[in-house]
Amino acid sequence: MSRGFVKEDDLEHAGTDVPERPVSAHPNYVTANGYAQLQQQAAVLEREISSLSTNKEDAGTQQKLAVLNRDLRYISARLESALVTKPDAASQLVLFGAQVTVEDENGDSHTYEIVGEDEADIKANKVSWTSPLAKALIGHRIGENVVWTRPAGNTTLEIIAIHYQ
């Protein structure tokens, strides 16, 4: 490309314009643990930004700072909008924050915790309250069967146990 079509300012800021992380339109329900995780993430990001701020001339550092600042804006917005929710531990219904043990059609049992969107982690069996699985479970009791609608095909789950921490 000819240098005649490139503004010097564009070269200086190349790679520093990162798109914002999308913020969910759903209410930002979080567990107490989820809120603490968000606070910890914000602190880590602030430390990383502070440590990189000494070498702002390097293009690679500018890119890293742009990403870190974007992530900090996202985490700060999530902390600001957080609705920390603690369910009634005596509840007989599956609600936000519940650990639910279910048995599938093959007789296999699985335990899931219903959490906020930012703390969802399928590897840790934590599912977002907005997920199809959580939506199928919320509002039901032990012994009830629910249908989990999923792309691989619907499956029926029986609620075996409900625990709250």
Q: Which domains does the chain have, with CATH numbers?
A: 3-84 (1.10.287), 99-163 (3.10.50.30)
Question: What is the model's pTM?
Answer: 0.81
Rg of the chain in Å (alpha carbons): 22
**Section 1-28 average pLDDT:** 68
CB neighbour list of residue 112: distance below 8 Å, 6 or more residues apart: 99, 100, 102, 125, 126, 127, 133, 134, 137
3 has pLDDT over 80? no
Q: How far is CA 120 from CA 31, 34, 69, 88, 117, in A?
A: 11, 9, 23, 21, 5
pLDDT at 9 over 70: no
In this predicted structure, what is the pLDDT of residue 10?
46
Mean pLDDT of 82-93: 90
Lowest-confidence range among 6-10, 53-57, 78-82, 102-106? 6-10
Confidence of residue 73 (pLDDT cuts 50, 70, 90): very high
Give the SS3 label for residue 23. Answer: coil
Comparing 48-52, 112-116, 139-143, 158-162, which segment has the lowest mean pLDDT? 48-52
pLDDT level of residue 43 (50, 70, 90 thresholds): very high
> Looking at residues 40-67, what average pLDDT do you find?
88
Averaged confidence pLDDT in the chain: 89
User: Who has greater pLDDT, 3 or 158?
Assistant: 158
How many Å apart are CA 82 and CA 38, to the nearest integer?
10
Phi, psi for residue 147 in degrees, rounded to 5:
-105, 120
Task: Please tell me the distance from the alpha carbon of residue 93 to that of residue 144, in angstroms, as a whole number.
Answer: 10
Kindly tell me the sign of the dihedral angle through the C-alpha atoms of 89, 34, 128, 108: negative
If you search the block for the tokens 């107490």, which residue do you land on?
32
